[in-house]
Chain A
């Protein structure tokens, strides 16, 4: 299958390792991965902050760039949810665009959906001998309905010690611009999330969204906890369990 990679702007700039991991995983499975370089950003921050007019050129661009692909994969629950759940609403008053969005949106998958539902794999031959806890990020959990798909993939990793996170399904407080518009509440939510992460005694916190992870990791780092945050794709792509 020829798969279009939507790496997302945050990953492009900040977390290229996550995009590299997706490429490696899919190529190992024998699929052709293409990265259309004309891609930029899905417009989620604009849309969720109320800037609809500023979102539309980004939406149109996404549709133009990814229309040729049978399947599009994004290593981000919230960006995949933006395209699949919010694009149809945003495009509703332009019938021609709405039709294109309706055809494209169902072909956009978060990584675990592509692996588990479309490609039917949960064993990737990864090795990661570390104690890991997983935070199900909100948009993947509630908008996409990922359920335990990322966890099923992580359970197939050899050497991994998965520990359950208490109050896992509570938001970490990131919420895009919420983190700077309501910094006190956001930090209070972060504090509880960090406490639950520390309670697991995990070395690594994994999740499906690097934006949420940047928030939690920013707190864990500020407190000098020594806990590392990783996108779960990077764990699934890991084959050498050094140290």
Chain B
């Protein structure tokens, strides 16, 4: 929550959310364990590659995909601007249609409302439609504490629940398991699993189907989330692939749906956009097999006792941030997870939130408040692949940087080595003289440093500067797995000043460009004829030449050879100077 600037009325501080939203240890630590697990890496790599290729194909079929995305974004922006009014409209319509609408500020309140509603039915068992929001508020745990057993009926959720594990993906929470592992979980935890169970997907699905069918037919209370809530009509919408949702939404007497307030769409017609965007982006299907829409309750048709719990849990606080609120447009398709190079290496559990991947890295810290979730905004290389595939055009990299900024701004009064370094660097770079002194210092100190810790500077004239194998903390994080480049012998600006085609300079040989690997060590050719002389730099005093700066290539410690490109990259067949 940002503090209002001077002279403006302070808004009441909006509460942040709680629940399964923040990792108990920082992301880098959890990621370290994940990337070291070969089976996890193989499972996630295979699964994400398959689904992202399918998505690309499904999306490429639609001629007006880009217009659809723009429409999706526009509708969601309108929802964000008019959310209070839309929520009230939804409540009126849903109530008129026979549903009971409840409002929950946070996870605790939502869990209490749902628990009381289940208790009132006298049942100690519920079946669940796959729902991110109920995982977010940890509803199953709350129900268990009240003596109520909640059974997940989505196949992937069932697998995770049987294993007592954690969800690792928005669409496929069990994406980190392979078939053999699933078979073992079923044999171990599913009492009615057949003795001759194989790891064939159809066989596994059949075992789950039989197991679940008994629950569908015997359970009187169901709990769902919703993909969309239509303000005009009070309708809720669930999209699914397996049919388990349809069973839960139609067979029981009582249906309780927990809905994040951002799920609103203004009118039924808006579904036209989202029912195209969502299936292709999430399951790579042209159309999902089951789309269930229900409006209140109808006597003799489906559940008679229908409840809707509208949940905030940090969403209003997110809405108050005009940049960060983009995250509320998310329709939970998981396309960004499937293309994310970070997610592909770590899987979802490393994020420690029910919302993993790029979208999780911007949703989770906003729901909890950035102070409670510092590491997730940095769990990205800002490559932008997520923004490219997002069906509602959430600029995830923009929000990530914005959240990093909020974290930095929020800690301005606390000392930090990183801040000191950033400030110092900014101060150095803000002034030409300071900057040039720093360049020189880096270059001069490189020799001794390389001699002590590196693989040496190359002695051969014209060779590259070589590389370092060890750097001190914190840059040791770089050299644990990569060599580090050394500064070049001559900075670009020094080369520029020493060029032969500058007025007032005596001619010096053109330092040739290296012709390719490895460095030739001979001039690449004659100086370019007919090169127009550049004008003197405006605004740069010529000044005395810097002591310690070579006046030209000849001063570079070699009497033959050109300056070389001074490429600081390690080259093959590096000769170690000091070995």
Contact = CB atoms under 8 A, between A and B. Distances in A.
Interface of A: 7, 9, 11-21, 23-24, 27-28, 30, 32-38, 40-41, 43, 45-52, 54-55, 57-58, 61, 68, 89, 128-130, 138-139, 141-143, 169-171, 173-190, 203-204, 213-215, 217-222, 225-230, 234-235, 237-243
Interface stretch (B111-119, B202-210, B304-312, B526-534): B526-534
A139 B511 CA distance: 31
B407 to A, nearest CB: 6
B521 to A, nearest CB: 10
Contacts of A46: 422, 425-426
A217 B569 contact: yes
A8 B511 CA distance: 20
A228 B481 contact: no
A11 B550 CA distance: 19
15 contacts: A13-B491, A16-B491, A16-B492, A20-B565, A21-B513, A36-B540, A50-B407, A51-B408, A128-B516, A176-B382, A179-B477, A184-B28, A189-B381, A214-B485, A218-B482
Interface stretch (B125-133, B223-231, B429-437): B429-437
Given A49-B404, A228-B569, A242-B522, A27 B528 contact: yes
Nearest to B377: A50
A204 B405 CA distance: 38
Contacts of A9: 429, 435
Interface centre among A40, A176, A179 (most CB of B within 10 A): A40
A12 B538 CA distance: 19
Contacts of B32: 184
A85 to B, nearest CB: 9
A16 B495 contact: yes
Contacts of A38: 432, 539-540
A200 B187 CA distance: 44
Contacts of B407: 50
A142 B388 contact: yes
A33 B502 CA distance: 12
A241 B28 contact: no
Interface in B505-525: 511-518, 520, 522, 524-525
B554 interface: no
Interface residues of B, number: 100
A4 B534 CA distance: 11
Nearest to A235: B516
B513 A174 contact: no
B573 interface: yes
A242 B565 contact: no
A197 to B, nearest CB: 13
Given A27-B532, A188-B35, A16 B490 contact: yes
Contact of B405 (A52, A61, A222, A226): A52
A16 B488 contact: yes
Interface in B416-441: 418-419, 422-423, 425-426, 429-432, 435, 439
Given A14-B485, A14-B487, A190-B481, A226 B515 contact: no
Contacts, number: 308
Nearest to A225: B572
Contacts of A129: 516
Contacts of B290: none
Nearest to B342: A185
Contact of A182 (B31, B387, B401, B486): B31
B27 interface: yes
B514 to A, nearest CB: 7
Question: 4 closest A-B pairs (Cβ-Cβ)?
Answer: A17-B565, A175-B381, A218-B482, A50-B404
B373 to A, nearest CB: 14
A139 B432 contact: no
A189 B27 CA distance: 16
B103 interface: no
B430 A34 contact: no
B394 to A, nearest CB: 14
Contacts of B482: 179, 187, 190, 215, 218-219, 221-222
Given A218-B482, A243-B515, A54 B496 contact: no
A138 B35 contact: no
A243 B31 contact: no
Contact of A58 (B430, B483, B511): B430
Given A13-B443, A17-B488, A188-B41, 15 more contacts: A12-B493, A24-B528, A35-B496, A48-B404, A49-B404, A50-B407, A50-B409, A51-B426, A142-B385, A187-B480, A189-B342, A213-B569, A218-B485, A228-B518, A228-B569
A182 B481 CA distance: 12
A161 B131 CA distance: 52
Contacts of A40: 429-432, 435
A189 B345 contact: yes
B487 to A, nearest CB: 5
B328 interface: no
B236 interface: no
Given A11-B492, A50-B404, A57 B487 contact: no
B432 A234 contact: no
Contact of A37 (B432, B511, B517, B520): B432
Contact of A238 (B418, B422, B493, B524): B524
Given A27-B531, A89-B398, A138-B381, A36 B565 contact: no
Contacts of B377: 50
B475 interface: yes
A214 B423 CA distance: 24
A34 to B, nearest CB: 6
A218 B484 contact: yes
Contacts of B569: 15, 213-214, 217, 221, 228-230
Nearest to A34: B534
A89 B399 CA distance: 12
Given A54-B422, A178-B381, A227-B572, A243 B520 contact: yes
